[in-house]
């Protein structure tokens, strides 16, 4: 039976290049920007290979694992849109909620 487009897309996202495109597109939609310090590609490699949360030190789930409290997240300032840390999902949610700038949960 021939493969469907959805199956091709699923396979593509399981490759390094496919995952990179998918994740970077997602970051762009969330408002994360590139700076002189790093490109999206460099951020992606840092995100993909980061072993543990930079805040609580818990072991991060593999990049393709289903969403959980230790999923890897790109924490960024919602005012400047600049990357800050690679965090677990639990820490990222907490930081968004308590962010002193008042830009909560955006
Ligand atoms: Zn954490």
Per-residue pLDDT of the chain (106 residues; tens, 9 = 90+): 889 999 999 999 889 999 999 999 999 999 999 999 999 999 999 999 999 999 999 999 999 899 999 999 999 998 899 999 999 999 999 987 777 654 444 3
pLDDT of residue 40: 97
In-domain check, residue 104: no
pLDDT of residue 88: 97
> Ligand 1 centroid vs 83 CA: distance in angstroms?
16
Q: Cα dihedral sign for 21, 27, 29, 31?
A: negative
Tokens of 67: 């969403």
In-domain check, residue 58: yes
Q: Report the domain count for the chain.
A: 1
Q: The CATH number of the domain where 45 resides is what?
A: 3.40.1800
In-domain check, residue 83: yes
In-domain check, residue 70: yes
Q: Residue 86 burial by CB count (10 A; 0-12/13-18/19+): exposed, middle or buried? A: buried
> Ligand 1 centroid vs 6 CA: distance in angstroms?
33
The answer to whether the beta carbons of residues 58 and 73 sit under 8 Å apart is no
Residues of the domain holding 17 = 5-98
pTM of the predicted protein model: 0.83
pLDDT of residue 101: 56
Reported in sequence order, the residue ranges of 33-102 that DSSP labels E, i.e. its strands, are: 72-76, 83-88
């Amino acid at each position: 039976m021939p493969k469907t487009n959805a199956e091709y897309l699923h396979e593509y996202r399981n490759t390094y290049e496919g995952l990179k495109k998918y994740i970077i597109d997602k970051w762009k939609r969330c408002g994360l920007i590139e700076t002189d310090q790093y490109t999206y590609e460099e951020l992606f490699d840092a995100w993909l290979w980061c072993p543990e949360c930079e805040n609580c030190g818990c072991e991060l789930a593999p990049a393709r694992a289903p969403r959980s409290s230790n999923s890897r997240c790109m924490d960024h300032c919602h005012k400047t849109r600049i990357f800050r840390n690679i965090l677990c999902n639990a820490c990222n949610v907490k930081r968004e909620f308590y962010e002193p700038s008042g830009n909560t949960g955006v």
